[in-house]
Structure 1
Amino acid sequence: MSGSKRSSQRERLAELARERGASLSGLSEMLGRNPAYLQQFIKRGTPRRLGESDRWKLAQFFGVDEVELGGEGKEKSYIDASFGRRSGYIDVPRLDIGASAGPGALPASEAFFDAFRFSRRWLAEQGLEGAQLSAITVQGDSMQPLLNDGDEILVDRSPRRFRDGVHVVRLDDTLMVKRVASAGPGRLTLLSQNLAYPPVSVAAEDVEIIGRVVWKGGRV
């Protein structure tokens, strides 16, 4: 394999990690490697080429063809004891952060610590094929009964034109999940589902829309 091809594959891996919001150290640990493994691969070219099992796991996690990460493009029959056969599934990272549905909380590290596995077919049926997805935890009670404290939500970070709905937003370094509605030119209203919390009117430029909430899961 030429040096230019190896370089492009390292660049592609770095790009995929940025798009998914996944840390290289977290990905390395997912592979059972030391935290610096992928950082060294991308920055120093060590190792020169990813091992087959590592490449397969990363390709399955990101939902891309192994060719993009140095594979030969052939059908694989590899089965890992901890991951299983997952050609029909996408792993969505669970980020180590919480989105406040209460008075507000500062986000912690955005490293992922685990993943949810979703069927590619189900994602396509939901209109989420190719979406940039991550899962985070709801904190607080302001979005009850729609979202409860401890629920995990799937957030679509794909660049899309804004429309009213439930979003994860960042306001003054605080991560929140709210129903966001347009309130005239240059203004947005952050609405809580729990009527005990009043609406908050803000300038659109003061709010960063992180992503749209597209799914939730929690205990019954």
Structure 2
Amino acid sequence: MPAADARVRLMELVDAQGVSLSGLSALLGRNPSYLQQFVRKGSPRKLEEGDRRTLARFFGVDESELGGAGEGGVIAPYIGQRRLRSEWADVPRLPLGASAGPGALAESEAPVGQLRFSARWLKAHGLDAAMLSAIEVEGDSMEPTLRDGDEILVDRTPRPLRAGIYVLRLDDVLLVKRVDRAGDALRLISDNRAYPEIERAAGEVEILGRVVWKGGRL
């Protein structure tokens, strides 16, 4: 099958199953934009054999439908993938630290693993797995709410800003802070009172996502 036809077929399968390209990219251990780039930009030109096989098994189709030579038969989806699709969602863990380190929460960052969440739990909290990333907290500026080494779930869904804890970029530094409006400015507040409050013009602060969950060692 020509590569262009494989991209069309992949989108047909995605639409039929109600899954996302970013979620499937995470399933492959790729960065969230991997399959979007394949479909929209033709990069890579064709799927690697291992990725194609995994997707074929996920959808229960022959590899030939996704650009492979194929074996002339439909592959039944294995139980783990059926369960993943219906019951669980894997959220990519990005190799970034938020609080006192440089970096950016961007789709170009390759995941270093996944955290698995109940699809029902995510839906109950109004969260879309395709818009979530997990990163690690660095430093003590948000103690006792967030501690050094905690994992946080960041929701990148565009929403009106309201008071809460956000991951943001300020002066090329990635931070996690409690954010509130102060007129036309933003107040960046550390829960650890040893750190002073920061007030900056809204245009100087890039809000990357709202923190909606935390996990860590006792």
* 2-structure distance, mates of 1:106, 1:48: 33
Residue-by-residue CA offset, 1:29-85 (whole Å, 9 max, x unaligned): xxxxxxx9998894253249963423556x8xxxxxxxxx96xxx9954145xx784
Q: Map 1:1-220; keep pairs closer than 5 Å.
A: 4-8=4-8, 16-17=21-22, 26-27=29-30, 42-47=42-47, 51-55=52-56, 77-79=77-79, 85-87=83-85, 88-100=87-99, 104-107=100-103, 110-129=109-128, 132-185=131-184, 187-220=185-218
Q: Secondary structure at the match of 2:212?
A: strand
Q: Secondary structure at the match of 1:86?
A: helix
Change (3 A) 1:27 1:131: closer
Q: Secondary structure at the match of 2:120?
A: helix
Change (3 A) 1:132 1:47: closer
Amino acid at match of 1:181: D
Unaligned 5+ segments in structure 1 are 29-35, 60-68
Contact 1:180 1:191 in 2 (8 A): yes
User: Aligned-pair distance for 1:218?
Assistant: 0.1
Change (3 A) 1:203 1:46: same
Amino acid at match of 1:105: G
Change (3 A) 1:79 1:203: same
Contact 1:27 1:38 in 2 (8 A): no
Contact 2:190 2:197 in 1 (8 A): yes
* 1-structure distance, mates of 2:129, 2:35: 27
Q: Secondary structure at the match of 2:113?
A: strand
Unaligned 5+ segments in structure 2 are 15-19, 60-64, 67-73
Contact 1:131 1:158 in 2 (8 A): no
Task: Judge which range, 108-117 or 149-158, deviates more.
Answer: 108-117
* 2-structure distance, mates of 1:144, 1:48: 44
Q: CA RMSD in A?
A: 3.9
Amino acid at match of 2:103: P
* 2-structure distance, mates of 1:131, 1:160: 15
Change (3 A) 1:144 1:44: closer
Aligned residues, how many? 190
Contact 1:183 1:189 in 2 (8 A): yes
Q: Secondary structure at the match of 2:203?
A: helix
Q: Percent identity?
A: 45
Larger fraction in helix: 2
* 1-structure distance, mates of 2:164, 2:154: 12
* 2-structure distance, mates of 1:84, 1:160: 32
Residue-by-residue CA offset, 1:184-220 (whole Å, 9 max, x unaligned): 02x0010000111110000100110000000000001
Q: Secondary structure at the match of 1:123?
A: helix
Contact 1:136 1:153 in 2 (8 A): yes
Amino acid at match of 1:106: P
